Amino acid sequence: TFKVVKNHRDIHVYERWFEVEGEGRETRELKSEFKVSASIDVILSQIRQPDKVVKWMKAVGEVKAVEGQGASQWVSYIRYDVPWPLNDQDCLMRYQLTREQGRASVYFRSVDDRRVPPKDGVKRLEGIQGLWRLQELGDGQTKVTYSMLTLEKPSMPRWVTDPVVRANMLDSMVAFYDLLKE
């Protein structure tokens, strides 16, 4: 079950740990939930457009479209600019948007894509997957649920990464919320 690990106003960050099958170790799934006065279309524009993503996603140095910008499936390159002692990291994410009445979901996962080769001194992240769930509540309100996990074995101990990961998630969701309120 998820437990709250950080919160700011009505924005909560939850985590749960589960066993990685066949590896004898655990990994974390993070989730954030909040309600906002914004339409699904406005929220999706903040998720889909690289120039907007870079404004709310914290510890990010670069976001650029690789394929399918504006389509229901797209690939983005993300270069993280994380504080020491963590190393600079990047990834390529494939996103898939599905919509139905009053709802939208954006599934994402890291992919290998030769169009953006790895850079010297930057660790290419793998095994990331997640989901944005958007649900209209009426009266112009939308419930936003964001969850993600990384299956890649960590290179640093949890006591180093936990505070950074949790703070980054909360700071990103607060910035995302604040941009939607503008």
How much of the chain exceeds pLDDT 90, in percent? 74
* Positive or negative: CA dihedral 149, 56, 132, 5: positive
**Residue type at 94?**
R
pLDDT over 80 at 42, yes or no: yes
Q: What pLDDT, on a 0 to 100 scale, did the predictor assign at position 138?
A: 94
Domain-wise residue ranges, the chain: 3-181
pLDDT over 70 at 86, yes or no: no
**What CATH architecture is 3-181?**
2-Layer Sandwich (3.30)
pLDDT over 70 at 66, yes or no: yes
pLDDT band at 20 (very low <50, low <70, confident <90, very high): confident
Rounded CA-CA distance 91/100 in Å is 29
pLDDT over 70 at 83, yes or no: no
Region 125-153: mean pLDDT is 95
Closest CA relative to residue 180, chosen from 72, 35, 7, 12: 35
List strand residue ranges (DSSP E) for the chain, in order: 3-8, 11-20, 25-37, 60-67, 73-80, 89-100, 103-110, 123-124, 128-138, 141-150
Q: What pLDDT, on a 0 to 100 scale, did the predictor assign at position 70?
A: 82
Q: What pLDDT, on a 0 to 100 scale, did the predictor assign at position 4?
A: 96
Q: What pLDDT, on a 0 to 100 scale, did the predictor assign at position 84?
A: 65
Place of tokens 């690939």: 75
Of the CA atoms within 13 Å of residue 164, those in its CB half-sphere come to 15
Q: What pLDDT, on a 0 to 100 scale, did the predictor assign at position 147?
A: 98
Place of tokens 């604040």: 178
pLDDT over 90 at 106, yes or no: yes
pTM of the model: 0.92
Q: What pLDDT, on a 0 to 100 scale, did the predictor assign at position 102?
A: 97
User: Mean pLDDT across the chain, nearest whole number?
Assistant: 92
Region 158-181: mean pLDDT is 91
pLDDT over 90 at 135, yes or no: yes
Q: What pLDDT, on a 0 to 100 scale, did the predictor assign at position 177?
A: 98
